[in-house]
C-alpha cells in the first residue's frame, strides 16, 4: 500500500531499535562495531542452520510438529551461539582491560559492559527483523496489500512487523540478561534467556491455527514485556549495588 | 560522587577511526542500492553500456551459461589488461615526476565523472519521473556542481566535509555505471579485479607496489582520488607533551623528532607494533586510487575506464605535531581509503540489489567483515595490502549462498508479484512480451516456425527491422498511437483453434495470424491487449508444444502468468510500460509505417 505504508511497516519493526541506536549506540563507535559483528554472527548462524535443514526443506506438510522440530533445533543452536559469544566477550574484555591499563585509562565500567551486551543483543534483533520482516516487505511498497487466510484481521505485513518488533525486544534485552547471568553466576538469569527464546519461538506456532494470531501475537508481546522488565530490574539492582561499592565493577 | 568526576571511558573513543571509514563506505553503498532500485524499476535488462569492459563479448541472454562465462572471462581479462597498462603508465609518469600532469588529469577525470556520468544519471531520473526542468538550467546546475567537485578534489583547502561528500558522489556514480554491465561480466570482473589487486600489491613486480615504494622513498603523496577520514583528536588531558591536538601514529621506523608520549613508551619499538591489534594504534592506511576516464557517453558508447587501487601504509615522518599539507587535511593520523574500493564494493552491492534485498544486506555485512579483516591484517603485517580481495570474496560467497534465502526462510514465502517464470521481475505484459528471458525464447521460436517477423527487444538497442515487403509481419505494437483489437473479433478468429485440441496444418495457423494483422493495425475503441496476448499464448502453446520441444519454458506457469495479467485490477498499470515502449520505438524508427 504505497511507499508510506512500506516505510511504516519497516519502522514498526525497527523503530525502537533505531531510537536506541541513535541515542545510545551511535555515540560510541565501538558499540557500532559490536552491533555489526553480532549481526554478522547471527547471519552466519542462520546460514549454517539453513544449510543443515536444506535437505528437509521445503516442509510440504501442514502438520505442526515438523515446524516445532525446526524451531527447537534453531533456538538451541542460537543459544549455543550465545554461549560462544559470551566466551568471546570474556576474551574481549580481557584485551580491552589490558589495553586500558596500558594507556592509563580506566577499565571498563559496568555500564560499558552492559552497553556492549545491549549492542550485541540488538545486533541479533536487528538481523532477525531484517530477515524475517523487511525481506517480505518489498510488495508492501506497491499498491496493494496482502492478507493471510488464517489471520485475516490484519494485513500480513502488519502481523509480521509486530512479531518482528517483539523479537527485537526479546533479543536485545535477553543478551544483557544472559551476560549478566554468566558474569554473576546466577542460574535464574542464565536459564531465563533460553526458556524465553524457546517459548517465543514456539508461540509463533500458534499462528498456524486459523485465528491463532489473535492469541499468539499478544502473548509474544507479554513475553517481550516480561523480558524488558526483568532486564530493567536486574540492571537497576546491579547499578545500585555498584553505586554502594565505589571502585569496583 | 565518583560519578561526577568520571573520566571518559575507554569505549568512547575505541574504534572511532574504523567507524569513520565504515560510514562513508556504507553511505556510498546505500546510495548505489537506492539508485539501482529506483532507476532500474521497469526492466531487468536496461540499456547496457558498451565499454572497455565489454569489448570482447557482449552478452545476450539467449546464450548458454558456458558461453556467457567464457565471454565474461574474456571481457575481464581485457579490462584487467587495460588497467595494468594504465597503472604502469602512471608509475612511469610518477617516476619522472610529472606530478602536475597527474593532478590536472585527476581533476579532469573528476570533472568528466561528475559532469557526464552525473548528467546521464540525472537524465535517467528526469525521464523516469518526468521532472520539469529546462536544458539551460540543467546545464548550469550540472556545470556548477562539477566544477565545485573538481575544486574539492583538486585543492586541499576545501572544507573536508565537502571533499568527502564529493568523493562519495564520484564513487557512487562510477559504481552505478558499472552495475549496468551485463550480469556475468560484472561478477567475473569483480573477481578479476580482486585477484589483480592481490597481484599488483603483493608481487614484487606489481605496479602498485613499485608506486608505493617510490612514494615512500620520496616522501611524496601519490596524486590520486583518495577518501580521507577526519583524524581523531585526543581530548585526553593526560597527554604529557601537550601537543595533544594531533594523534601521533605509530610507525615501523623510529622517528627522531616525534614527541614521546609517556603512555606510548613502548610504542616506538617496532616489535610491539605487530602485537597490537587495536584500532587506536592502527597505522594509518592509505589506499590510493587513480581513475581515468576518457570519453563521454553517446550512442556508440565507447568508454575507456582505467582503474586500479592499492593499499599503502603511510609513513608518518611529519614529526611533532606539524601537519604536512597533503590531500585533505594534514594527513598524519587519518585513515585513507582509495576510491576504487568504494566503487567495487558498491558495484557488488548494487548488483546484488538487482536480485533481492536480502542479498544486499548479507553482502553488505560480508564486505564490512572483509574490510575489518583487511584492517586487522594491516595492523599485523604493516605493509601495503590490497583492500579488495577479502571483501569481494566474502561478498560473492554470501551472494552465492543467498540466492535461495528469501525462499527457504522459516516462513517460506515468495514475493507475490514476481514473474512466475524467471522470478526476476514483476509480472507485466511488457515483461512477458519483451523482457522475460524465458518467454523471449518462446516467442522467437514460435514466430520463426510460423514465419512471422517478430521484433524483439534484446539487451540494449531494439533491432528494428523495417519490413514493408512482408505482408505477414506481425508487430506487437504499432508505432503511432495504440492498437486495440476488439476482443470479440479475436475470439472469432481463435475459437476454432482453442476449441479442438488437435493440430491442424501449419498453414491454418499462419492464416489465423495473418488475419490478426488487420486487427492489430486499426483503431478500435477499447484496449484489451492482455486478453489478446492470452489468446496468443494459448495458440502457440497448442501449436508449438506438440511440434517442437521447447526447453526451459514451463507452460503451466506461463499460462498462469498470462491469466494473472488479465485481471482488471492491474490492467491499467500494465498499459504504461507498453505505452512507453511505443514511444521509444517511435523515436528509433519513425519512418516505418505498418
- Pick B428 or A43 by higher pLDDT: A43
Q: Between chains, do A135 and B19 touch, taking CB under 8 Å as contact?
A: no
Residues in B closer than 8 angstroms to A132, CB to CB, are 409-411
Q: Has residue B386 got a pLDDT over 80?
A: no
| A47 contacts B410? CB cut-off 8 A | no
pLDDT score of B532:
52
Q: With 80 as the cut, is the pLDDT of residue A134 above it?
A: yes
For a pLDDT cut of 70, what percent of chain B falls above it?
A: 42
Of B10, B16, B417, the CB nearest to A100: B10
The chain-wide mean pLDDT, for chain B, equals 60
Name the H helices within B155-246. Answer: 160-179, 183-202, 207-218
pLDDT at B399 over 80: no
Over the range B555-578, which residues count as b (16 or more CB within 10 Å of their CB) and which as e?
Answer: eeebeebbebbbeeebbeebbebb
At A108 the pLDDT is 78
Phi and psi torsions of B506, nearest 5°: -60, -35
Q: Please indicate if any CB of chain A lies within 8 Å of the CB of B2.
A: yes
Query: Which has more confidence, A207 or A87?
Result: A87
Task: State mean pLDDT over A29-57.
Answer: 87
Q: Of A33, A39, A135, which has the smallest distance from its Cβ to B15's Cβ? A: A33
Length of chain B, please? 594
Q: Which of residues 70-109 of B touch A (CB under 8 A)?
A: none
If you average pLDDT over residues B210-223, what whole number do you get? 77
Question: Would you call B413 and A136 a contact, using CB atoms and an 8 Å cutoff?
Answer: yes
With beta carbons under 8 A apart, name residues in chain B contacting A144.
569
> DSSP readout, B560-576?
HHHHHHT-HHHHHHHHH
What pLDDT is stored for residue B236 in this prediction?
A: 42
Lowest mean pLDDT among A122-131, B298-307, B342-351: B298-307
Residues 6+ apart with CB under 8 A from A183: A113
Closest listed residue to residue A132, CA positions, set A13, A39, A219: A13
DSSP states of A175-200: HHHHHHHHHHT-HHHHHHHHHHHHHH
Q: What distances in angstroms separate CA B484 from CA B30, B526, B529, one per listed residue?
A: 43, 6, 7
Cis peptide bond upstream of B270, omega within 30: no
B561: confidence class by pLDDT, cuts 50, 70, 90:
low
CA–CA dist B276, B251 (Å, integer): 12
pTM of the model: 0.63
Q: Which tens digits make up the pLDDT trace of B254-284?
A: 233 333 333 333 333 333 333 333 322 222 2
What mean pLDDT is predicted for residues B489-501?
45
pLDDT at position B20 over 50: yes
Positions of B marked catalytic: 197, 341
What does the alpha-carbon distance between residue B31 and residue B123 come to, in Å, rounded to a whole number? 17
pLDDT for B146 equals: 93
Residue A131 has pLDDT above 60, yes or no: yes
Interface test with A, best of B12, B27, B410, B567 (most A CBs within 10 A): B410
User: For residue A46, what is the nearest residue in chain B, using CA coordinates?
Assistant: B409
Please indicate if any CB of chain A lies within 8 Å of the CB of B417.
Answer: yes
Cβ–Cβ of A96/B14 closer than 8 Å? yes
Chain A residues closer than 8 Å to B401 by CB:
47
How far is residue B552's CA from residue B554's CA, in Å, rounded to a whole number? 6
Under an 8 A CB cutoff, do A108 and B9 touch?
A: yes
pLDDT at B287: 28
User: Of B247, B253, B224, nearest to B336 (Cα)?
Assistant: B224
pLDDT for the residue numbered B391: 74
What tens digit of pLDDT does each residue of B466-488 get? 334 433 333 333 333 333 334 44
B9: nearest CB among A70, A112, A135: A112
Q: Nearest by CB to A139, from B15, B236, B415: name it.
A: B415
d(CA A194, CA A218): 20
Interface contact A115-B11, CB threshold 8 A: yes
Residue A105's closest chain B neighbor by CA?
B10
Please indicate whether, in this complex, the C-beta atoms of B408 and A146 are within 8 angstroms of each other.
no
Mean pLDDT calculated for residue range B307-320: 31
Report d(CA B170, CA B112) in Å as an integer. Answer: 10
Reported as a single tens digit per residue, the pLDDT across A12-36 is 999 999 999 999 988 888 899 899 9
User: What percent of chain A clears pLDDT 90, i.e. is strictly above it?
Assistant: 42
Query: What's the gap in Å between the CA of A58 and the closest CA on chain B?
Result: 7
* B343-382 residues touching A, CB cutoff 8 A: 356-358, 361-362, 365-366, 368-369, 372
Percent of chain B, pLDDT > 90?
5
Residues of chain A with Cβ-Cβ distance to B413 below 8 Å are 136
C-beta atoms surrounding B211 within 10 Å: 26
3-state secondary structure of B266: coil
d(CA B309, CA B290): 7
Whether residue A223 has pLDDT greater than 50: yes
Please say if the pLDDT value at position B402 is more than 50: no
Cell of A169: 525486544
What is the rounded average pLDDT of the residues B441-446? 54
Q: pLDDT tens digit string along B329-378?
A: 223 456 777 788 888 889 989 888 887 777 888 888 888 888 888 877 77
Residues B321 and B245 sit within 8 Å (Cβ to Cβ): yes
Task: Determine the distance in angstroms separating the CA of A123 from the nearest CA of chain B, rounded to an integer.
Answer: 12
Contact A30 B365 (CB under 8 A): no
Between B420 and A115, name the one with better pLDDT: A115
- Give the CA dihedral B216, B218, B220, B226, nearest 10 degrees: -40
Neighbours of B184 (CB within 10 A): 21
Helix-strand-coil percent breakdown of chain B, rounded to 5? Answer: 55, 5, 40
Beta strand pairing status for B226-228 and B336-338? antiparallel
DSSP string, B4-54: TTPPPPGGGTTTHHHHHHHHHHHHHHHHHHHHHHHHTTT-SS-PPPPBGGG
Query: Which of B19, B357, B366 is opposite residue A138, by nearest beta carbon?
Result: B357
Q: Which of A106, A139, A143 shows the shortest C-beta gap to B416? A: A139
CA distance B511 to B514: 5
| Chain A interface mutation, best of B7, B11, B16, B280, highest count of A Cβ atoms under 10 Å | B11
Amino acid at each position: 500500500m504505497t511507499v508510506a505504508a512500506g516505510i511504516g511497516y519497516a519502522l514498526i519493526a525497527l523503530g525502537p531499535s533505531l531510537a536506541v541506536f541513535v541515542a545510545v549506540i551511535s555515540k560510541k563507535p565501538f558499540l557500532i562495531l559490536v552491533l555489526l559483528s553480532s549481526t554478522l554472527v547471527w547471519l552466519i548462524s542462520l546460514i549454517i542452520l539453513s544449510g543443515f535443514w536444506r535437505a528437509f526443506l521445503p516442509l510440504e506438510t501442514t502438520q505442526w510438529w515438523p515446524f516445532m522440530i525446526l524451531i527447537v533445533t534453531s533456538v538451541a543452536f542460537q543459544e549455543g551461539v550465545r554461549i560462544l559469544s559470551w566466551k568471546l566477550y570474556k576474551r574481549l574484555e580481557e584485551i580491552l582491560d589490558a589495553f586500558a591499563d596500558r594507556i592509563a585509562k580506566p577499565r571498563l565500567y559496568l555500564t560499558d559492559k552492559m552497553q556492549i551486551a545491549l549492542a550485541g543483543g540488538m545486533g541479533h534483533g536487528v538481523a532477525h527483523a531484517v530477515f524475517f520482516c523487511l525481506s517480505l516487505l518489498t510488495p508492501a511498497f506497491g499498491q496493494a496489500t496482502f492478507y493471510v487466510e488464517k489471520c485475516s484481521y490484519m494485513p500480513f505485513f502488519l502481523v509480521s512487523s509486530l512479531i518482528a518488533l517483539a523479537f527485537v525486544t526479546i533479543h536485545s534485552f535477553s543478551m544483557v540478561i544472559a551476560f549478566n547471568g554468566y558474569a554473576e553466576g546466577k542460574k535464574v538469569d542464565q536459564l531465563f534467556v533460553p526458556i524465553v527464546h524457546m517459548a517465543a519461538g514456539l508461540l509463533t506456532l500458534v499462528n498456524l491455527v486459523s485465528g491463532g494470531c489473535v492469541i499468539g501475537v499478544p502473548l509474544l508481546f507479554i513475553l517481550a514485556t516480561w523480558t524488558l522488565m526483568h532486564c530493567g530490574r536486574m540492571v537497576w539492582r546491579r547499578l545500585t549495588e555498584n553505586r554502594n561499592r565505589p571502585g569496583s565493577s | 560522587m565518583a560519578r561526577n568526576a568520571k573520566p571518559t571511558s575507554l569505549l568512547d573513543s575505541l574504534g572511532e577511526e574504523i567507524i569513520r571509514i565504515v560510514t562513508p563506505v556504507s553511505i556510498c553503498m546505500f546510495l548505489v542500492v537506492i539508485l539501482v532500485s529506483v532507476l532500474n524499476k521497469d526492466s531487468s535488462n536496461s540499456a547496457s553500456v558498451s565499454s572497455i569492459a565489454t569489448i570482447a563479448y557482449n552478452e545476450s541472454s539467449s546464450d548458454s551459461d558456458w558461453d556467457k562465462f567464457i565471454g565474461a572471462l574474456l571481457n575481464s581479462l581485457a579490462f584487467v589488461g587495460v588497467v595494468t597498462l594504465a597503472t604502469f603508465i602512471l608509475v612511469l609518469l610518477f617516476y619522472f615526476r610529472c606530478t602536475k600532469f597527474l593532478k590536472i588529469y585527476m581533476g579532469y577525470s573528476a570533472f568528466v565523472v561528475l559532469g557526464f556520468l552525473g548528467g546521464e544519471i540525472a537524465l535517467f531520473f528526469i525521464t523516469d519521473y518526468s521532472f520539469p526542468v529546462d536544458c539551460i538550467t540543467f546545464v548550469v546546475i550540472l556545470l556548477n556542481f562539477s566544477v565545485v567537485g573538481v575544486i574539492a578534489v583538486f585543492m586541499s583547502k576545501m572544507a573536508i566535509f565537502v571533499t568527502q561528500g564529493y568523493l562519495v558522489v564520484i564513487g557512487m556514480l562510477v559504481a552505478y555505471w558499472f552495475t549496468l554491465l551485463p550480469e556475468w561480466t560484472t561478477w567475473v570482473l569483480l573477481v578479476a579485479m580482486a585477484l589483480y589487486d592481490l597481484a599488483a600489491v603483493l608481487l614484487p613486480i606489481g605496479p602498485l607496489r613499485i608506486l608505493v615504494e617510490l612514494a615512500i622513498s620520496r616522501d611524496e603523496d601519490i596524486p590520486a582520488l583518495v577518501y580521507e577520514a577526519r583524524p581523531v583528536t585526543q581530548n585526553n588531558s593526560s597527554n604529557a607533551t601537550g601537543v595533544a591536538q594531533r594523534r601521533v601514529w605509530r610507525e615501523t621506523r623510529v622517528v627522531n623528532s616525534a614527541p614521546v608520549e609517556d603512555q606510548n613508551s613502548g610504542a616506538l619499538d617496532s616489535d610491539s607494533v605487530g602485537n597490537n591489534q587495536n584500532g587506536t594504534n592502527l597505522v594509518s592506511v592509505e589506499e590510493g586510487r587513480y581513475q581515468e576516464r576518457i570519453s563521454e557517453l553517446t550512442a556508440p558508447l565507447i568508454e575507456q575506464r582505467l582503474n586500479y587501487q592499492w593499499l599503502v601504509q603511510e609513513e608518518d615522518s611529519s614529526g611533532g605535531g606539524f601537519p604536512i599539507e597533503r590531500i585533505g587535511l594534514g594527513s598524519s593520523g587519518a585513515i585513507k581509503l582509495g576510491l576504487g574500493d568504494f566503487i567495487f564494493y558498491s558495484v557488488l552491492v548494487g548488483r546484488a540489489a538487482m536480485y533481492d534485498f536480502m542479498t544486499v544486506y548479507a553482502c553488505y555485512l560480508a564486505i564490512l567483515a572483509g574490510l575489518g579483516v583487511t584492517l586487522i591484517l594491516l595492523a599485523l603485517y604493516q605493509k601495503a595490502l590490497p583492500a579488495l580481495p577479502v571483501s569481494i570474496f566474502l561478498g560473492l560467497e554470501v551472494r552465492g549462498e543467498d540466492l535461495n534465502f528469501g525462499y527457504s526462510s522459516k516462513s517460506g514465502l515468495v514475493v507475490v508479484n514476481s514473474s512466475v517464470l524467471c522470478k526476476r521481475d514483476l509480472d507485466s505484459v511488457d515483461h512477458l512480451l519483451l523482457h522475460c528471458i524465458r518467454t523471449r525464447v518462446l516467442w522467437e521460436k514460435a514466430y520463426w516456425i510460423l514465419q512471422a517477423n517478430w521484433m524483439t527487444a534484446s539487451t540494449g538497442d531494439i533491432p528494428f527491422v523495417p519490413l514493408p515487403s512482408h505482408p505477414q509481419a506481425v508487430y506487437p505494437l504499432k508505432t503511432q498511437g495504440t492498437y486495440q483489437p476488439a476482443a470479440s473479433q479475436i475470439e472469432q478468429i481463435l475459437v476454432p483453434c482453442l476449441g479442438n485440441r488437435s493440430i491442424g496444418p501449419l498453414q491454418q495457423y499462419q492464416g489465423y495470424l495473418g488475419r490478426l494483422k488487420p486487427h492489430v493495425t486499426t483503431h478500435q475503441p477499447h484496449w484489451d491487449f492482455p486478453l489478446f496476448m492470452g489468446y496468443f499464448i494459448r495458440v502457440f502453446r497448442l501449436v508449438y508444444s506438440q511440434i517442437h520441444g521447447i526447453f526451459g519454458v514451463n507452460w503451466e506457469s506461463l499460462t498462469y502468468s498470462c491469466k494473472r495479467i488479465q485481471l482488471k485490477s492491474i490492467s491499467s498499470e500494465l498499459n504504461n510500460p507498453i505505452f512507453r515502449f511505443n514511444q521509444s520505438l517511435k523515436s528509433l524508427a519513425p519512418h516505418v509505417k505498418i
